[in-house]
A = this chain, B = another copy of it.
Amino acid sequence: MVEVLDVFSSAYSFQEEDIRGKTVVMIDVLRASSTMATALYNGAKGVIPVGDMDDASKISHNLDSMSFLLSGEKDGIKIDGYDLGNSPLEHTPESVKDKTIILNTTNGTKAIKRSGLAKEIIIGSFLNLTSIIDHLKQLDEEVVLVCAGWRGRLSIEDLLCAGNIIYEVYSGQLPKDAKDGARVAFGLFEKFGDDIENIIKSSNYAVRLEGIVSDDDISYCCQRSIMQVLPVLKEGIITDLNGKEK
């Protein structure tokens, strides 16, 4: 049976050694995880997460120019010269079908890099909750949920999503020996689970990027289980392990 060992509230809140050989679910609700899930759901061949513009351009030089799109933001705004921003709503079937997306995203990439010793890294968001939960329930592994957070701080939307995953994996009953991080995420979800969109609309992220990131974007990312997609990172590229069952 799967065991959710802990929830880490940011990319800086754990030692890399702590996740060696474990399955990691990386959660960056606003917006990297949601964008990755959406791009794959809408037909992208894969998503390559990168941490800065240098990495993005290095990778893009090795690809056929018709085969990829550069997506990314700096402080919520599309990077100059990029094809798309970091909005999931821009990653429509028309724009992403059969393309590889090079996604430039700071906190999500940091969380992925710091999870380098993991056995497997899955990308989690509210959008693909059911796929994540169904997958975890089938595992007989130790799982750690890694919230991306922001510059080392916790982000309430990531913790809520982690809490939702634990809640469903354990059918609403937190194990008695749960770790502090898991207990906090679970408790938070029990408290605010009915009001996720409102809580997230007053989150640090929403306030910080008010007028830059649209309300529609945030509302979109708060929808639960609207797509069956299981984004898994292998050799630097994230693909949909669920295949094309849509």
- Give the interface of A toward B (CB within 8 A): 8-10, 12-15, 149, 151-156, 159, 176-177, 179-181, 183-184, 187-188, 190-192, 199, 202-204, 207
A154 touches B187 (CB 8 A): no
A22 to chain B, nearest CB (A): 15
This protein's copies in its complex: 2
Interface pair B156/A183, CB less than 8 Å apart = yes
Kindly state the separation between the CA atoms of A183 and B177 in the bound complex, as whole angstroms: 25
Extra pairs beyond A176-B202, A183-B199 (19, CB < 8 Å): A9-B9, A9-B13, A9-B153, A9-B154, A10-B13, A12-B12, A12-B13, A13-B13, A13-B153, A14-B153, A155-B180, A156-B180, A156-B183, A177-B202, A180-B204, A184-B188, A187-B192, A188-B188, A190-B191
A159 to B181, CA, bound (A): 11
Residues of B within 8 A of A199 (CB): 183
Give me 30 A-to-B residue pairs in the complex whose CB atoms sit less than 8 angstroms apart, sorted by A's number.
Answer: A8-B153, A9-B9, A9-B13, A9-B153, A12-B12, A13-B13, A13-B152, A13-B154, A14-B153, A15-B152, A153-B180, A154-B154, A154-B181, A154-B184, A156-B180, A156-B184, A159-B184, A177-B202, A177-B207, A179-B204, A180-B203, A183-B199, A184-B184, A184-B188, A187-B187, A187-B188, A187-B191, A187-B192, A188-B188, A190-B191
Contacts of A149 in B (CB 8 A): 13
Chain B residues near A187 (CB-CB < 8 A): 187-188, 191-192
